[in-house]
Amino acid sequence: KQEVTQIPAALSVPEGENLVLNCSFTDSAIYNLQWFRQDPGKGLTSLLLIQSSQREQTSGRLNASLDKSSGRSTLYIAASQPGDSATYLCAVGIYGNNRLAFGKGNQVVVIP
Amino acid sequence: EAEVAQSPRYKITEKSQAVAFWCDPISGHATLYWYRQILGQGPELLVQFQDESVVDDSQLPKDRFSAERLKGVDSTLKIQPAELGDSAMYLCASSTGTSGYNEQFFGPGTRLTVL
């Protein structure tokens, strides 16, 4: 069974610092990896999608890397802002049953 | 920009009552998913539809949960009877294609509280 772990579970950083969020998964047989943002009581907003053949994706201040062989992905958020405060979820697409396996999330607070 | 629609956004019910949630996926998306997210956890798949057919309902508690997508467009998830442990966020997502190996887009969710 695919297990997805996100470390740290929660973190606080001062505004302007770079954020580094880690995601690890136990089975490298994935077809893609998605990073989502979730605000309290809200749905999921897709941030970045990395296909299994790719090593990284970038969108504005966000950059996500994927190392399938080691079962790891990292989300970098440059120059954090208070508006970046949210929970960030990592999800991997599992071959065979077409489902996403999610981690529990990284809860981020950016302090003004 | 096209979005996944869900209603209601919030639902409070007493245990043993019936509840129903509705989802309208992005137009043209063949695959529809219902997830349940307990507070502090990641979402877990309940059921996946390909057009009007169920392709995965292995995690759906079938004694009380049912889901349908009669015309292959919008979908309804029902719980009868609701239990205290059903309190959670219910998320609907959709994706293009028929393989399921595509980016999933999520709706705003329905927050269910069972008293």
What digits encode the pLDDT tens for the residues B43-82?
999 999 999 999 889 999 999 999 999 888 999 999 999 9
Show Cβ contacts of residue B58 under 8 Å, excluding neighbours closer than 6 positions: none
Residues of A in contact with B55 (CB under 8 A): 98
Whole-angstrom distance, CA of residue A57 vs CA of residue A34: 10
CB B104 within 8 A of CB B18: no
The pLDDT assigned to A3 comes to: 92
What count of residues does chain B have? 115
Nearest-CA distance from A18 to chain B in Å? 24
Dist. CA B17–CA B113, nearest whole Å: 12
Residue B98: pLDDT band with limits 50, 70, 90: low
Give the span between the Cα atoms of B47 and B66, in whole angstroms: 9
Question: Which residues in chain B touch residue A44, judged by CB atoms under 8 angstroms apart?
Answer: 43, 91, 93, 106
| Residue A42: Cβ-neighbour burial (10 angstroms; 0-12, 13-18, 19+) | middle
Mind telling me how many Å the CA of B102 is from chain A's nearest CA? 8
Identify which of B42, B45, B100 has the shortest CB distance to residue A103.
Answer: B42
